[in-house]
Structure 1
Amino acid sequence: MDDALLLTGDDLTVDDVWDVAVGGRAVALSATAKEKMTASRALLEESRGEHTYGVNTGFGRFVSESIPDDQAEELQLRLLRSHACGVGAPYPDEVVRAAMLLRANALAKGYSGARVTTVELLLAILDAGVVPYVPARGSVGASGDLAPLAHLALPLVGEGEAWVGGERVPGAEALARAGLEPVRLAAKEGLSLVNGTQFMTAMAALGLVRGRRLAIAADIACSMSLEALQGSLASFEEAIHRARPHPGQLASAANVRRLLEGSAIIESHRWCDKVQDAYSLRCAPQVHGASRDLLDYVGRTVAVEINAATDNPLVLLDEGTIVSNGNFHGQPVAFALDCLAIAVAELASISERRVERMVNPSLSDGLPAFLTREGGINSGFMILQYVSAALVSENKALAHPASVDSIPTSAGQEDHVSMGNAAGLKALQVLANAEASLAIELLAGAQAVEFLAPLEPGRGVACARAFVRTLSQRLREDRSLSADIERMAAALRDGSLAAAVESEIGALG
């Protein structure tokens, strides 16, 4: 446990979320968090005689219904049972694990009144590799992700279902296999477990890591395509981008310049009579950069949300009060998720145009049609461009914002909702589609550059091409390339492509 992540409620990062949710890093509560939580619980217990939402009242429209003290614990259990009514396929395991971490971190802030023992059980389940079974549809993202978080919380009380070692079992059995005992919820603890934005924020945090990796991969893929299409480096000159100094644009152009350093291909046509390249090449820093800037906005929102108190009511220790509020509303995260989808969709959109230029002999400046020497008997990369076009088209529909919709719930009490969960599910699909699209460009670019031998590309592009060849051999005769695309997409998702290139030329912006 020496490398365990210690939760304080205040300093979690998106990289921490990835390390725990994907990498399996251990987690524990810090001493500071335990102190805050203990004090928060004490204040809650002192206030039990007051009319407090979710402690001695019903929920939503039932807020006017008083609950006697002897039913306070039963109220919390029934809350989990009633709210666990999600439908559809489950979230990916890493999203559930991220949501568990984020909920624990929110409770660690000491604003919820949850007991230390309850949060420690949640973290013990996480560390044991037990993954609650959580259907992905059913949250409108207003009072937080109520239905998903209820499914996540049920195994803590020995109910619901969970994955253990690849097997879906009842919650009580999952705990037993991990050597854990269920908890009996105290007053407000059920509400503290379900009130929050943790599922939509989990998708935003994990998606942001993937989106940032994809932005670097887009610059790598563009550089390779620029070599293959014998484009001009002139439009990437630093002075041009200083004249319109959007941060993302500056970073993207700088990446391309570094990736192309030492290119014999670029040097060979420095004095050709081509004046301007197509926009998908010449305007790549402007397009990639705009996506980068949008991802930066997403990053700022996520950085706040993963360390935010999103419970209702909040236990305010300094003020000595318990106050009903609206911090659970998912609108900030919903907007960010829609922006994430838009930013990533555009990276795929311009990438597909570069693929078209490489496979189309009318546009490729001498490359063989569909990047194959024996056209006719071979179709080469013909259908890969179709696949990319299909993914880009799907992304256009998915990029329509969910966050502009609202359908009132709870008999009008919750009369404006964020639809953040829908935004998150769409964003994850857009990411997967975009990763496959950029994978196709990298496969096509590696194939195309090799037709220009013996001229060699720049150091960064040469390293990227070598990496591609570890996952996909050069296409000489037609074969199915589905697995090649999937392997390449996985390398974009886990960052291994960027890591390989950066090991050769240094960190990219």
Structure 2
Amino acid sequence: MTITEHPHAGATQLTVSLGGDTLGIADIAAIARRSEAVAVTVAADARERMRASVALRDDLIATGQPIYGVTTGVGNSVTTHLSPERAEYMMAVGFRKLLVGSGPAAAPDVTRAMMLVRANCLARGHSAIRPEAVDLILAFLGRDILPIVPECGSVGASGDLAPLAYLVEVLTGGGTVLHRGLRRSTTEVLAEEGLSPLRLQPKEGMALLNGTSFMAAFAALAVHDATELALVSDVCTALAVEALTGNMDHFHPRLHAQKPHPGQVRSAARIRSLLDGSRLAVTHADILAATPTVGSGEIQRVERGVQDRYSIRCAPHVAGVLADTLDCFKTWVEVEVNSSNDNPLFDVDLGIVHNGGHFYGGHMGQAGDALKLAVANVADLLDRQLALLVDAKYNRGLPDNLVRHHAVDDPRAGMHHGLKGTQIAASALTAEALYRAAPATLHSRSTEAHNQDKVSMGATAVRGARDVVELTGRVAAIHLLAACQAVDLRGGPQMLADGTRAAYEAVRGLVPFVDVEGRLDEDLASIARFVAEGGVGRAVAGSLPNC
């Protein structure tokens, strides 16, 4: 089956094949956010593997042997052995006890990502589920029929039981869906779209429920968005260097070659490249040339020292940690979304069932917790740079709060506070990002009569990563507004390097110079959306090094 979406006429079509262990984070983001025309297929060999695992399931059921979750109870009820005749009934009703979610509904992009990832995991062919079940998930995706999934209720083992129960409910024709943005009865939508609900066969409910696809969806989108934030952080730093007439030699490749963490080296190279041709940034040689020679035995105070404050000089060391964290956890997420993570798994080659714990979300939880820490540190970095930009004690000649200078007899003199409020808002957002960066995976709970006695808390961790990424994006928006304001006061965009000028022009296309008091929340939201949608990266792409 091929499901094709064309959200943008004339867009280049992306083809994604499921079941071949090739699903990537970029694929997930494109499909989840409907940003490209996408054709999603199930590989022919994946379909054969799925059918073979179903045949093995049926053969093993016929022997009368206990098969976990098929001819036994689930969880702590594993000691209840059922006859083969009861297996299908248990699938039909078993998921309902898990419709216990609470809190806000997951955003549509998360739900789409969850559905895509679940389909891909099942298409690998080890879960004893028919290809028709995966086809129905893809039909839902293609027609934008989404389960309404509460965010809260998963402990990350046995997988994301509560969130995925809402997917099972709508696939079997129950509950309520979001159909092209409108809440509607699933029964009505299926009839309108000419789709038949899934009648679960033995093991199929377990296959759909018992996995990590909810947390993996959050993780994949958070990694995707944080990758853009790492670049935005470098753009912000480059603009701050120019606005503060900073020392660009802090980013010299010879310097960073002596501590060659890959992410740090890339960050420094990007900042250096973005500053290429700047008439505001200075070099170490410029500073020496402007510094009078001190006489023998004398002491003198100079206008500026040979190095800038840590939030400028150490920016690659902060953003580089995020970049290296992303390099590591991108691999983890892509392994997870291309894994069979339910239980039990059917081994066609050996003709047996494997009972294990692949539903455990430890890698996704650890990825979420580490990502939170690295991204929150970038929020703090940008907040500290912003504090330098707005404070006349540190911004090398710019006015307090970046207010335009007015003559003393001008009635506007002394009446405006510029970006004072935005700096307070950035501080609040940063503080929230920092406190939300506390690890979730340490808070394992023993549940389900001590059957699930060590759980991952993976869903909680990656939901927190999503929150910290969003908060940091808002901090970056405020920083960009302030940096562009500072550039205007410093002499205008003609003084900028080509790379930073491209970023400046993109921001100025959204928000003008702030000359008088007025609300800025909508302007800041506009910049934050631009950041989140990759606008900054696209604007500066021509000025980035190949690294």
TM-score band w.r.t. shorter chain = over 0.9
Give the Cα separation in 1 of the matches to 2:229 and 2:14.
28
**Paired AA for residue 473 in structure 1:** P
Give the Cα separation in 2 of the matches to 1:311 and 1:251.
38
> What are the Cα deviations for residues 407-454 of structure 1, in whole angstroms up to 9, with x where unaligned?
111101111001111112211111110000011111111110111215
Aligned residue runs from structure 1 range 264-275, under 5 A: 264-267=279-282, 270=287, 271-273=289-291, 274-275=305-306
Please tell me whether the aligned partners of residues 37 and 110 of structure 1 are also in contact (alpha carbons under 8 angstroms).
yes
Question: Aligned to 1:55, which of 52, 63, 70?
Answer: 70
| Cα offset, 1:176, TM superposition | 2.4
2:230 alignment counterpart: 215
**Paired AA for residue 335 in structure 1:** Q
> What are the Cα deviations for residues 46-85 of structure 1, in whole angstroms up to 9, with x where unaligned?
1113210011111100111122222222211212211121
Structure 1: runs of 5 or more not aligned:
none
**Paired AA for residue 213 in structure 1:** E
Please tell me whether the aligned partners of residues 105 and 150 of structure 2 are also in contact (alpha carbons under 8 angstroms).
yes
Q: Secondary structure of 1:412's match?
A: coil
Q: How many aligned residue pairs are there?
A: 508
1:335 alignment counterpart: 366
- 1:434 to 2:463 alignment: no
Give the Cα separation in 1 of the matches to 2:498 and 2:193.
50
TM-score (norm 2): 0.90
2:297 alignment counterpart: none
Change (3 A) 1:181 1:507: farther
**Paired AA for residue 430 in structure 2:** V
- 1:13 to 2:24 alignment: yes
- 1:38 to 2:38 alignment: no
Please tell me whether the aligned partners of residues 19 and 122 of structure 2 are also in contact (alpha carbons under 8 angstroms).
no
1:293 alignment counterpart: 324
**Paired AA for residue 27 in structure 1:** V
1:463 alignment counterpart: 502
Output the aligned Cα RMSD.
1.5
- Structure with bigger gyration radius: 2
Q: Secondary structure of 1:451's match?
A: helix
| Cα offset, 1:142, TM superposition | 1.1
Please tell me whether the aligned partners of residues 216 and 508 of structure 1 are also in contact (alpha carbons under 8 angstroms).
no
Moved over 3 A (4+): 1-4, 267-273, 506-509
- 1:500 to 2:511 alignment: no
| Cα offset, 1:317, TM superposition | 2.0
| Cα offset, 1:368, TM superposition | 1.1
Q: Secondary structure of 2:509's match?
A: helix
2:152 alignment counterpart: 137
Aligned residue runs from structure 1 range 224-243, under 5 A: 224-243=239-258
**Paired AA for residue 189 in structure 1:** E
Give the Cα separation in 1 of the matches to 2:520 and 2:341.
45
Question: Aligned to 2:524, which of 462, 482, 485?
Answer: 485
- 1:96 to 2:111 alignment: yes
| Cα offset, 1:9, TM superposition | 4.0
Give the Cα separation in 1 of the matches to 2:40 and 2:253.
44
Please tell me whether the aligned partners of residues 17 and 23 of structure 2 are also in contact (alpha carbons under 8 angstroms).
no
| Cα offset, 1:233, TM superposition | 1.0
2:269 alignment counterpart: 254
> What are the Cα deviations for residues 367-401 of structure 1, in whole angstroms up to 9, with x where unaligned?
11111125632221111111111011111211000
| Cα offset, 1:14, TM superposition | 0.3
| Cα offset, 1:3, TM superposition | 4.5
Please tell me whether the aligned partners of residues 246 and 282 of structure 2 are also in contact (alpha carbons under 8 angstroms).
no
- 1:126 to 2:126 alignment: no
1:117 alignment counterpart: 132
2:175 alignment counterpart: 160
> What are the Cα deviations for residues 271-330 of structure 1, in whole angstroms up to 9, with x where unaligned?
444211000000111111112111222112112111011010011122221111011101
Give the Cα separation in 2 of the matches to 1:12 and 1:20.
11
Q: Percent identity?
A: 38
Please tell me whether the aligned partners of residues 367 and 462 of structure 2 are also in contact (alpha carbons under 8 angstroms).
no
Give the Cα separation in 1 of the matches to 2:54 and 2:27.
27
Question: Aligned to 2:190, which of 149, 152, 175?
Answer: 175
Give the Cα separation in 2 of the matches to 1:272 and 1:283.
24
2:86 alignment counterpart: 71
**Paired AA for residue 54 in structure 2:** R
Deviates more, 1:474-483 or 1:404-413: 474-483
Please tell me whether the aligned partners of residues 119 and 137 of structure 2 are also in contact (alpha carbons under 8 angstroms).
yes
Please tell me whether the aligned partners of residues 255 and 508 of structure 1 are also in contact (alpha carbons under 8 angstroms).
no
Give the Cα separation in 2 of the matches to 1:9 and 1:100.
17
Deviates more, 1:5-14 or 1:323-332: 5-14
Q: Secondary structure of 2:495's match?
A: coil
| Cα offset, 1:179, TM superposition | 2.4
**Paired AA for residue 161 in structure 2:** L
> What are the Cα deviations for residues 473-498 of structure 1, in whole angstroms up to 9, with x where unaligned?
11111221111211111122111211
- 1:423 to 2:438 alignment: no
Deviates more, 1:457-466 or 1:5-14: 5-14
| Cα offset, 1:507, TM superposition | 5.5
